[in-house]
Amino acid sequence: MKHRIGLAIHGGAGTIDPALLTTELEGLYRKGLHEAAEAGKTVLEAGGTALDAVEKAVIILEDNEMFNAGRGAVFTAQGSHELDASIMAGHDLSCGAVSGVHGIKNPVSLARKVMEHSAHVFLQGEGALAFAHDMGFSFAPEAYFYTPNRWQQLLEARAANVTALDHNQPKPIGTVGAVALDSHGNLAAATSTGGMTNKKFGRVGDTPIIGAGTYANNRTCAVSCTGHGEYFIRKVVAHAIHCRMLFAHEDLALASSTLVGELHEIGGEGGLIAIDYQGRIAMPYNSGGMYRAWWSEGLAVATAIYAK
């Protein structure tokens, strides 16, 4: 099957007010997105796997405090962090996920360890941390995850008594994710998040849910979602795109935009990135913007926040 290797990444979707996004901030977001996409591109161009490419891209986004994952994760109502991540391989449907972990620099790598070195798919909380310890993960100190912007967001959310989806602000924002197609024709997807500012502890969104926030299947596509997770769970969004392609013979663009439209109808704000088995990319969203970057073989990496 003829295909063109490529990838797409996202750094979250939301109501991004252009008036509040300064030129300097916009530059920092675009730089972060560009770096992550370039890292994935480098893996793919060297003949590496889609799994390695999406993990590498997500690691770079997790390490960047501009994005709501890893280092830049938002604070829960208790002033702590709860990180979720998942990863899936399209060639054999193997997958791994973690939820409610803290102190892990790169939750996406822990999800991959669950996939490759445990008998399970999904580990939560203290059990996931015990597994991380067994796997030799080093734990980052609390200070690593403390960023003044995130703390200020929590204080503001507490004062307003709201659970913020980490939207509606020109500050660090966004679940992160990546999808890729490699030279072997294999697809992969990965997603990582810090959740919602001031959220009740214990809340699990769509990010670690295989089928909802993340899905990959070589027969169709790889998908990573971002937005109001509860709605993405109800619509089983990532898997629904796969099913529309496989059973209704829709193309990626139609299947993915249909889901984003269905989310909008029920009040679910957000977006997704997806790549199909031939390398076509779709990145629909129903929110004010979505931080994203993409690359296809033979072209340069591109970034966008709004329409462009």
Judged by CB under 8 A, which stretch of 8-16, 39-47, 183-191, 196-204 contacts its own copies?
196-204
Question: Which one of 49, 147, 175, 207 is the catalytic residue?
Answer: 175
131 binds its own copies (CB under 8 A): yes
> Which C-beta is closer to its own copies: that of 177 or that of 289?
177
* Residues paired with 225 in a beta bridge: 272
230 binds its own copies (CB under 8 A): yes
Q: Is 253 helix (H, G, I), strand (E, B) or coil?
A: helix
> From the list 36, 69, 157, 233, which residue makes contact with its own copies (rule: CB under 8 A)?
233
> From the list 25, 28, 125, 254, which residue makes contact with its own copies (rule: CB under 8 A)?
125
Round to whole Å and give the CA distance between 173 and 16: 9
- The residues, ordered by sequence, that sit 6+ positions from 107 with a Cβ below 8 Å of its Cβ are 62, 69, 70, 83, 84, 85, 98, 101, 192
> Which C-beta is closer to its own copies: that of 136 or that of 298?
136
Judged by CB under 8 A, which stretch of 102-110, 120-128, 145-153, 292-300 contacts its own copies?
120-128
Dihedral pair phi/psi, residue 191, rounded to 5°:
-140, 145
> From the list 73, 128, 190, 282, which residue makes contact with its own copies (rule: CB under 8 A)?
128
| Tokens linked to 79 | 């002033």
Residues in contact with its own copies, counted by CB under 8 A, come to a total of: 45
Using only C-alpha atoms, the chain has a radius of gyration, in whole angstroms, of: 17
27 binds its own copies (CB under 8 A): no
- Identify residue 280 by its one-letter amino acid code: R
Residue 63 burial class via C-beta count within 10 angstroms: exposed 0-12, middle 13-18, buried 19 and up: middle
Residue 140 burial class via C-beta count within 10 angstroms: exposed 0-12, middle 13-18, buried 19 and up: middle
> From the list 21, 25, 28, 121, which residue makes contact with its own copies (rule: CB under 8 A)?
121
> From the list 248, 299, 300, 306, which residue makes contact with its own copies (rule: CB under 8 A)?
248
Judged by CB under 8 A, which stretch of 60-68, 122-130, 138-146, 269-277 contacts its own copies?
122-130
From residue 51, alpha-carbon distances to 88, 94, 222, 303 in Å are 8, 11, 11, 22
123 binds its own copies (CB under 8 A): yes
> Which C-beta is closer to its own copies: that of 97 or that of 173?
97
Q: Is 303 annotated in the active site?
A: no
Closest CA to 190 of 182, 198, 200, 178: 178
Q: Which residues are designated catalytic?
A: 175
Q: Which residues lie near its own copies (CB under 8 A)? A: 93-95, 97, 99-100, 118-128, 130-131, 163, 200-205, 209-212, 215, 229-230, 233-236, 239-240, 243-244, 246-248, 266
